[in-house]
Amino acid sequence: MPAGDRRDGRSGGRRLRSALALGIALLLLAGCDGGAAVPRERKAPAKNTGFPAADRPVATIVSARWSTEEARDRLNEAEKVMGLAGIKPGMTVADIGAGEGYYTIRLGQRVGKEGRVVAEDIVPDTIEALGKRVLQQRLDNVSVRLGLPADPRLPEASFDRVLMVHMYHEIESPYEFLWRMRPSLTPDGQVIVVDADRPTEHHGTPPDLLKCEFTAAGYAPVSMRPMPSAGGYIAIFRAAGERPEPGMIKACKSGARATPVAVQSGQGSE
């Protein structure tokens, strides 16, 4: 079992707080425009990393903005997502693909002074602008980091929740990314994915494909439900069992069309 799965969450929290005390660092994936098909798409690179390549197109990063913050707030998007994710004061949360910081700012307010938020993006200009915004709003419990496309580089055993909102379809190497992210979760940690129910080349992820890729990388689904106010659906995963060896991970076959979201027992529509 990897060391990240064995370590105590409290020690990870202390390491994270020490890192945050150093100030704003420079990490990961921008959000995306929720519009029509983009003119270009990327295929996952067939690098000899030991991880399988994704059997699907990878959406091009076209914008750090999915929609205006005012429009999203009118739909109460962030509050609904954070509520369904169980995000509470005092938690430590990662905002992956933070973009302009719509969730980062609201997460910082939600977790309060005793909580911590790490916002990550792989676009240097985006993360620099977000760092300035965090300073201007005096969110001392928030730090920003510049990440790598296949590695979120999160501290081990540190995060109660990891949010990935409208960005999963932009990850070039999803199996490596998810595998490297897994040790960052606390024993009760969860990963929250919000995405559109459409093919990856059209800036979404079919729910069945999402569940397959997460399961292949060592996660288990907790819940999945439609969420029109956030542009599609919300899915929650947790780490399950031992983290698989990279060479044992099998790529999921992608379908040509998106599939309907299956609402699990006890879950309803918005």
**CATH number of the domain that residue 149 is part of:** 3.40.50.150
207 lies in some domain:
yes
Query: What's the number of domains the chain is made of?
Result: 1
pLDDT at 229: 80
Q: Would residue 17 count as lying in a domain? A: no
Tell whether 115 is covered by a domain: yes
The four Cα atoms 22, 63, 149, 79 give a dihedral, to 10 degrees, of: 60
Residue 14 lies in a domain: no
Enter the DSSP assignment of 52.
Answer: P
Cα 170 to its chain centre, rounded Å, is 11
**Euclidean distance between CA atoms 269 and 38, whole angstroms:** 29
Whether residue 167 lies inside any domain: the answer is: yes
What pTM value is reported for the model? 0.78
pLDDT, tens only, 134-177: 999 999 999 999 999 999 999 999 999 999 999 999 999 999 99
Tell me if 24 is assigned to some domain.
Answer: no
For 46-72, what is the mean pLDDT?
Answer: 76
Q: Confirm whether 165 is domain-assigned.
A: yes
* Largest interatomic CA distance in the chain: 47
Residue at 15 is within a domain: no
Q: Which helix (H) or strand (E) holds 116?
A: strand 116-121
State the pLDDT confidence band at 41, using cuts at 50, 70 and 90.
Answer: very low
State how beta strands 92-96 and 57-59 pair: unpaired
**180-206 confidence digits (pLDDT tens):** 999 999 999 999 999 999 999 999 999
Cα–Cα dist 64/50, whole Å: 30
Residue 198 belongs to domain spanning: 70-239+248-256
Question: Which of 13, 8, 29 minimizes the C-alpha distance to 149?
Answer: 29
Contact (CB, 8 A) for 165 and 235: no
Average pLDDT, the chain: 81
**pLDDT tier at 254, thresholds 50, 70, 90:** confident
